Structure 1
């Protein structure tokens, strides 16, 4: 019994030391003290003490004295260098670009919740709020989205002029150069609001404020370049575009075939050193109307004119070129899933001065770093803003429609099958807003690269799901294109968000975990650097720290699994505390599984894209779930938010389980996958899908005129004008809330056959005669029912209009003359 107790104490002590992550020296001292204690208590004889103590001393000295330990490390170091995959300069620049932020805490397995709790969400300044409330609202009011997308296929001239005059294209340019100098969060809010009215206008605004000449000049331009271009970009005199992608180049931007050859040539009557450019760009937003082009190409200097005779290939370089430069072909349009300006740019042997390189000659070859550093900010602002807008409008309008629209004598939003879709819209909308606010605020404080990739991929996918669900609920009302249809243009534009700034498939399968595992891990990238620098001493320190880190995360993962996360920490009390603990448990599990996977598969993991994608999903849902908890705290821990918080967290935890489950099932070495499964989920499945009751609860809330509904729709452009398609639904919904008890009395009498007249007017007369309603009540019901009918009505067109020989889409008209004004209701 004494021996068993001693063994249990030893195992328990080592387990505790591993769980808390005790340093090697502390662990060694504890083991030594334990051996001495056994001898002192008479539980170990002199011979056993001498043998055990001697062996332990040898190992302790070997592992704690670094010069001796390096003898053990040296063959490991040689093997590591032998299998280390080569890294190109572009891969290195992509890895080094940006900062590691909160995603690093979630990846490393022991998140510092106080870091998240103390992080201050960006607040709009008075100037930014005024711009959102005034200029942005005025811009939305000017836009006829149906006319823009389906008739003109362009924004109206007065809209273009207004955007120039009010500096919508220069929100990121500082006041020093005449721009607005808005925060990333403010830019996100502006783009979100515009997108709730017009995706075309939102894309037009967001591109100059994302990856483009303005941002590149701000960060990298020479003083002369800034003075020449930034004031003109700020006041709208110049419209920019950025030429990166092409026929053969999409997500793999480093493969661009476009070239610039350094040579001498004539410019403005003088011989100068310049570049002869040949390029063929496609999919370039704003190209058809751009006056200045940011151009990415591969720079060659065969004659050594840049001063280095041994360097010919400089790599990707960015230059700023006026669209009027001789040889540049620009102006033709693609027609993507939307009406925004997008088109090709081509040039053959276009000669330009060398000082047109952004940043000057010293930035020759520095284009890739510029692009990856600026691209992450765009991913964190523009596309999340579009996605949040889609989620907000799906939430607001589907909630109203599902209460207004009745089938089988019941509001369609009360059907459980419909609630599966509407509840998902509600939950995703809450998550979208939480991730939007946190990510945009992060961009205001640093340049997070992995976080913005997570936001780009998952938010655009959530928007796709929300709009698909909204279309399903609206049925024929969503299918029929026309001025009344507020869903069709957004739904049609979903592929744009899915595709741009990194195709979603590759963002998920290659970027999120591929970049996150190396950037967020405290040891992997430093170990790689130590190996490339042949620094054995540094590698030795990192290697043994890494071994301790892995043991700690493995022990923590199993311990938290066995206890259901009970030992994890939560920074708050109350109903959300359990979710913090579960996120810490899964964070620890991700760190453990990642280490095992990278240790076994090594460079092969780069080709196991589906495995990488699943671990990326775990990291992503850890980030999004923590964003939801942060949003709940920042919004004041309101009681009415809790069902949405629970839905988001339950859904994320289930998604994490599903990702891990598929990862373990498909791990190339079956018994290793099984062993990891038992470590992470020792008692089997830990999380379940969101319950039907919770989904139904938030679906019901979506149809109520609550403070939460208004808060989640706060940024939306929501006119109270029955001649606007969104305004009509708003007016009808507001009226329903006022008269619903009366309307239900009328509808009940109608359903029971007490009102037999064929028209609404005659039925209301009967209702008054029979005492079902007073005359005043009947007037209110009649007003609402006419609004209701218009709100669920779809458009119909004359054959002349659809053939293009008449130009006004007046609904349900037999003939349309060119003099008749278009109208909605």
Structure 2
């Protein structure tokens, strides 16, 4: 943090008080151009020892009204051509009273913990919400488009290549919704789950990036033509913003998830560090020795436990539920044991070097992350009444998580600095090899089929998707076309039968086919009107925006 504050005396509201003279110059600050209160982190120094005998006090946080003399805001960035309020703020020799420090004078130098806790709450709400909303929109609209859009006389959703991508969109959206509910629930309980929110921030933004790419692939040219009819483009352009803000994803994955999780989630490491820092050395040493013995016992238990789990494949583990998902609880227990073993060995053999082995610790973070995601999915399934329609989504999500856990472990074992220890750990955790597989094609097809028809699971999984009511609203237009095409299927079957019987020629445009069907008595007048309305809605839904020569240039000049 390059921004600084110096404790000194100064004038505030006509009185001389002890305060802080600040200098800062920040960029990329969310909402800075329109903020009324500025949250500022800076390094605090006390050269005159006004607060005590310590000169370098450390990172401190303060809340400063933006109307305060010397505070400069207003300039904004233009991230990815989006209306995202993000900008600069700076101040030179700005004096503030000491009471503006968050927590008051007693909390000077304690800003790092505040930053971590504030960041954990913020990144656990805004960015996961954005990722989930992206999933809801992409799932509902892509499923509708894949059904409405036809090629070679078939909805493109019937092609297996499209089903593979649509299955991935649905599976990832189910994981996103499960993580959103679980993570936001923890924050609602007044918790500050820094590790969990780091997991949510990284994986939910990455999942939204993946499913948006799949959605673009399915929409093809419909997705890249910007204009009022496009419901995907702006979200796609905004993805890099969510990837980079609140701790860039590279930083989050490589430094924060396992870096914080290794101490916060371990039953003894954090307590050992606190014991080592105890100012009462005798009491600290006694406490440390007791914890160390427990830690050794914990590590030995994990070693034999991991081997037992590996030899039995986790089949003897207990499960809190019965049915199709019971096997997943057993595997998550097994992988949790394996992670505990590998984390202990890593900290024991690498010590402080582990934080510099970022690719290695990131893989352990991946294991922890996918254990959390799979747990969220299983809890979400249970909390929603174990709906049978959810099972393909649950299977897809958890199988994907287990596969990613296996892949992360494989990279960890093969890249462990001591290759002999790496092989030993692999032999303990996976004595018969890593056998987790990605969800099979049938699973993707089941998810795709669920998204290609009106259903309760489709509505529950996409309930955050905005659907406009007017024909000119792009999401409303697509949804109306989707429902109309579905409702028209019995009439289309009558036409197909007539074509098979030779009453109507094949390969005619649909509007011509409808008229021919009416002429030969296959369709009534009401049925003709229904099909013509369906065809009108379908054409409007798959159409894209176009602009007259000079229209875009004129808009640019007006802007």
TM-score, normalised relative to structure 2: 0.94
Is contact 2:135–2:211 with CA below 8 Å preserved after alignment?
A: yes
Evaluate the alpha carbon distance shift between residue 684 and residue 353 of structure 1 in structure 2; reply closer, same or farther with a 3 A threshold.
closer
Evaluate the alpha carbon distance shift between residue 298 and residue 739 of structure 1 in structure 2; reply closer, same or farther with a 3 A threshold.
same
Evaluate the alpha carbon distance shift between residue 771 and residue 606 of structure 1 in structure 2; reply closer, same or farther with a 3 A threshold.
same
Pick from 774, 777, 787 the counterpart of residue 527 of structure 2: 777
Q: CA deviation at 1:465?
A: 0.7
Pick from 363, 375, 394 the counterpart of residue 138 of structure 2: 394
Pick from 294, 301, 304 the counterpart of residue 555 of structure 1: 304
Evaluate the alpha carbon distance shift between residue 530 and residue 670 of structure 1 in structure 2; reply closer, same or farther with a 3 A threshold.
same
Q: Would you say 1:451 and 2:196 are equivalent positions?
A: yes
Provide, for residues 230-276 of structure 1, a one-character-per-residue CA deviation record: whole Å limited to 9, x for no partner. Answer: xxxxxxxxxxxxxxxxxxxxxxxxxx111122223334444433332
1:815 alignment counterpart: none
Q: CA deviation at 1:382?
A: 1.7
1:675 alignment counterpart: 424
Q: CA deviation at 1:360?
A: 2.7
CA distance in 2, matches of 1:760, 1:806: 39
Provide, for residues 406-444 of structure 1, a one-character-per-residue CA deviation record: whole Å limited to 9, x for no partner. Answer: 112211111111111110000001111111111111122
Pick from 518, 537, 549 the counterpart of residue 787 of structure 1: 537
CA distance in 2, matches of 1:552, 1:618: 20
CA distance in 2, matches of 1:311, 1:542: 32
* 3-state SS of paired residue (1:305): coil
Q: CA deviation at 1:808?
A: 11
Gaps of 5+ in 2: none
Q: Would you say 1:419 and 2:163 are equivalent positions?
A: yes
Q: Would you say 1:512 and 2:266 are equivalent positions?
A: no
Q: CA deviation at 1:397?
A: 0.6
Evaluate the alpha carbon distance shift between residue 758 and residue 564 of structure 1 in structure 2; reply closer, same or farther with a 3 A threshold.
closer
* 3-state SS of paired residue (2:431): coil
Backbone CA RMSD of aligned residues: 2.2
Evaluate the alpha carbon distance shift between residue 397 and residue 377 of structure 1 in structure 2; reply closer, same or farther with a 3 A threshold.
same
Q: Would you say 1:311 and 2:86 are equivalent positions?
A: no
Provide, for residues 665-709 of structure 1, a one-character-per-residue CA deviation record: whole Å limited to 9, x for no partner. Answer: 111111211111111111123211110111111111111211111
Is contact 1:565–1:582 with CA below 8 Å preserved after alignment?
A: yes
Is contact 2:504–2:513 with CA below 8 Å preserved after alignment?
A: no
Is contact 1:318–1:357 with CA below 8 Å preserved after alignment?
A: yes
* 3-state SS of paired residue (1:375): helix
* 3-state SS of paired residue (2:102): coil
Is contact 1:477–1:485 with CA below 8 Å preserved after alignment?
A: yes
Evaluate the alpha carbon distance shift between residue 765 and residue 320 of structure 1 in structure 2; reply closer, same or farther with a 3 A threshold.
same
Q: CA deviation at 1:744?
A: 4.9
Which deviates more, 736-745 or 383-392? 736-745
Is contact 1:384–1:456 with CA below 8 Å preserved after alignment?
A: yes
CA distance in 2, matches of 1:737, 1:518: 54
CA distance in 2, matches of 1:755, 1:472: 33
Q: Would you say 1:281 and 2:30 are equivalent positions?
A: no
Provide, for residues 28-56 of structure 1, a one-character-per-residue CA deviation record: whole Å limited to 9, x for no partner. Answer: xxxxxxxxxxxxxxxxxxxxxxxxxxxxx
Is contact 2:137–2:466 with CA below 8 Å preserved after alignment?
A: no
Q: CA deviation at 1:368?
A: 2.2
Count of residue pairs brought into register by the alignment? 552
Pick from 450, 453, 469 the counterpart of residue 214 of structure 2: 469
Is contact 1:720–1:730 with CA below 8 Å preserved after alignment?
A: no
1:493 alignment counterpart: 238
CA distance in 1, matches of 2:241, 2:418: 39
Is contact 2:135–2:173 with CA below 8 Å preserved after alignment?
A: yes
* 3-state SS of paired residue (2:318): coil
Q: Would you say 1:804 and 2:548 are equivalent positions?
A: no
Evaluate the alpha carbon distance shift between residue 339 and residue 546 of structure 1 in structure 2; reply closer, same or farther with a 3 A threshold.
same
Q: Would you say 1:355 and 2:99 are equivalent positions?
A: yes
2:288 alignment counterpart: 539
CA distance in 2, matches of 1:756, 1:577: 51
CA distance in 2, matches of 1:757, 1:517: 64
* 3-state SS of paired residue (1:566): coil
CA distance in 2, matches of 1:758, 1:734: 24
Pick from 330, 343, 368 the counterpart of residue 581 of structure 1: 330
Evaluate the alpha carbon distance shift between residue 753 and residue 801 of structure 1 in structure 2; reply closer, same or farther with a 3 A threshold.
farther
1:114 alignment counterpart: none
> Aligned runs of 1:167-316 on 2, under 5 Å?
256-306=1-51, 308=52, 310-316=53-59
CA distance in 2, matches of 1:275, 1:748: 84
Is contact 1:554–1:592 with CA below 8 Å preserved after alignment?
A: yes
Q: CA deviation at 1:740?
A: 2.1
1:365 alignment counterpart: 109
